[in-house]
Structure 1
């Protein structure tokens, strides 16, 4: 046998949200407090399901409630009930927060990838440098002994042309001619444009 319970007296209902929103639109702080109490729980629950982070959910809930205070006059009763309107605002705010977090993470990843990428391949650079040095050595061997000696003293030992002339005990003009001819032969051997 089932028992039926009858409530005596008026049934307890929630506040009239439309009335509260209308009062909030005119700056009624008491009405806002009651509206806050009526919708903050459902707003937080929805936002928490979207964001999953309690701290961010609290922040977004506060943003939604602030938006309700500032823009209560935008509510249009003919378009629907208050709670679905508020939850729509909450959902949009939560989704915006997710998108913002994703964009920030993508930016951080892009920056990290750019910082991690090396500007050049160090191994390839070393190999290329070694090959170039070998080619220069081969080309130096193709010079006459006098040309090779003049180029080596000037370019590898850092002597000036007059110092090379003094070291080799030859006139400066002879050193300049040897250097010019030797450098032309090196350029041709290395394949460097004129």
Structure 2
């Protein structure tokens, strides 16, 4: 005979994962803690196999449990077990992290190649400019001394014809003639049409 005012000494079964999810959906923090303790090793193991990096795996595992906390009300026991539902979330999150990481790596690689090509082009342009400058200087040396002076002052010094005439103490017309004749010889020497 049972005494009605005494509690039953029969042990109760521990809550199932499904029970814990239902309680988490109601905001039960103790249920979430119990669910976390039960599922964290499996979730982390799955994530670790996919993501590989331990630090990123820990971050992803934390994100998964935040998702479980926020989406617990969406769990439908008729569609499957709670463990499967959590592991599907874990798998999706881990794959998303790998894809995002790969996309970031690809983007960095493309940017690095672009920057390398730009710097390569800059070097190429600089070398071409130096070679062209050498070519022009050699061609300048083939001119008479007075033509060289007039052209260097006008083109490299930035002086006007009037200022060149004043510096060389010659008439402006003479400066113009020296520059014109020198430029014709330079054009012929450099093969410019």
Give the distance between the partners of 1:84 and 1:154, measured in 2 at CA. Answer: 83
Between the two proteins, the alignment pairs up a number of residues equal to 183
C-alpha separation in 2, matches of 1:123 and 1:98:
38
1:43 Cα shift? Answer: 1.2
Residue of structure 2 in register with 1:65 after alignment = 65
Q: Does 1:98 align with 2:98?
A: yes
Distance change >3 Å, CA 164–CA 60, structure 1 → 2: closer
Within 2, Cα distance between the matches of 1:103 and 1:112?
A: 14
On the 8 A contact 1:136/1:190 being kept in 2, the answer is no
* CA RMSD, Structure 1 to Structure 2 (Å): 3.6
* 2:3 corresponds to 1:21: no
Other-structure match for 2:113: 113
Structure 2: 5+ residue stretches without partners: 1-9
In the other structure, the counterpart of 1:183 is 183
TM-aligned CA deviation for residue 127 of structure 1: 6.3
State the secondary structure of the residue aligned to 2:180: helix
- CA drift of 1:173 comes to 2.1
Query: What aligned pairs does 1:43-192 form with structure 2 within 5 A after superposition?
Result: 43-117=43-117, 118-120=119-121, 122=123, 125-126=126-127, 129-130=130-131, 133-134=134-135, 137-138=138-139, 141=142, 147=147, 150-151=150-151, 154-155=154-155, 161-162=161-162, 165=165, 170-187=170-187, 189-192=189-192
* TM-score, L = length of structure 1: 0.70
- After TM superposition, the score normalised by the length of structure 2 is 0.70
> 5+ residue gaps in structure 1?
1-9
